[in-house]
Amino acid sequence: MKTAVKIFIDVLIFMFFAFFLLFLLYYQTGSLEMVPTEEDQENAKMISILGMIFFGSLCSIGIIFRATMQKWFHKGEKAMKKCTAGMFTKIVVFLVFGVFFLPMAGLFLYLSIFDSSLSSAEQLMFTAGAILFGGLVAFAAYRVFYLGIGWVEYDAETVIFHCSRREQHRFRWEDVPGPKVQAGPWQGGYMFVVLTGGQQRKVGVSRFSTGFKDFERTLESAGVLKRIGVTTEEDFKRAAEQVFSQFERYREEKAGSVRPKPEGDCVPCPDCDGKGIIAKRVLRLDIGKICKTCGGSGYVPR
């Protein structure tokens, strides 16, 4: 019931937004009369402005009601954290489909139906364009409003992978990864593959996802990152401190040491003092380049 109501509200919001864009297109093109007068153009602009105000208001009311309804449905339930598609991803998808594909579908459909000056080939081309862009918009609406984009809900003990609005899979953190769910790094984030009924259901989260940092900390505290072989920030710091301490012990034991003297009549290089590199002290480390005089050997012929 909850899902059906959400889908119905989402479809209404999409329809209101589509009508808003159509009235915006009507405002740009003007009257549909073959030879419009100035009065016809003014009437067309007035109708388009009123239509944009009306459907824009309905779209805004629908979005507000949708957000409020979401809180009503989840009231009293145990709160779980979410990792969902980020605002950047939503803006890009909206710009691609809402600002480009949908207006192009409306424009091509309008030209193929109402423009009588087109030849048969041009009319066929615009009809094919309307079908193409309309199909892309319909698929996007079906994927976003009906199926939903995959997201993750979790707490300290449990994780729920939402492959769609109708399909979800619950696991305990100690079972990830395991026989029924695999995990691994993916595009700066993590990909989870749920194995069900001989099929694979993929749910990915990236660093652009909303709530990604807290989700990554939960993965680390649950031991998932260690089990999938991802080096955590603490492990990296520990390894860096170990290497640095080894380097410090070496410098204390062999302070000012030079390389072993090769065979033949040679002396330590005067430019690098027999070290083979010309170094500068940066952050308590010797950072430099190979000495060109001795070629890195530390010695030159006498």
Q: Do residues 209 and 84 make contact, with C-beta atoms less than 8 angstroms apart?
A: yes
Delimit the domains of the chain by residue range.
1-72, 151-227, 258-302
Portion of the chain with pLDDT greater than 70, in percent: 82
Residue 285: strand pairing partners: 282
Which residues are CB-contacts of 99 (< 8 A; sequence separation ≥ 6)?
none
Q: How far apart are CA 198 and CA 221, in angstroms?
A: 31
Residue 285 has pLDDT above 60, yes or no: no
Highest mean pLDDT (candidates 84-88, 188-192, 282-286, 290-294): 188-192
Q: How far apart are CA 258 and CA 265, in angstroms?
A: 17
Strands 266-268 and 199-205: unpaired
Q: How far apart are CA 155 and CA 82, in angstroms?
A: 9
Q: Do residues 194 and 176 make contact, with C-beta atoms less than 8 angstroms apart?
A: no
pLDDT confidence band for 286 (50 / 70 / 90): low
Q: What is the pLDDT of residues 31-49, one digit of tens each?
A: 666 666 788 778 888 888 8
User: Is the Cα torsion angle 25, 28, 33, 39 positive or negative in sign?
Assistant: positive
Q: Do residues 105 and 42 make contact, with C-beta atoms less than 8 angstroms apart?
A: no
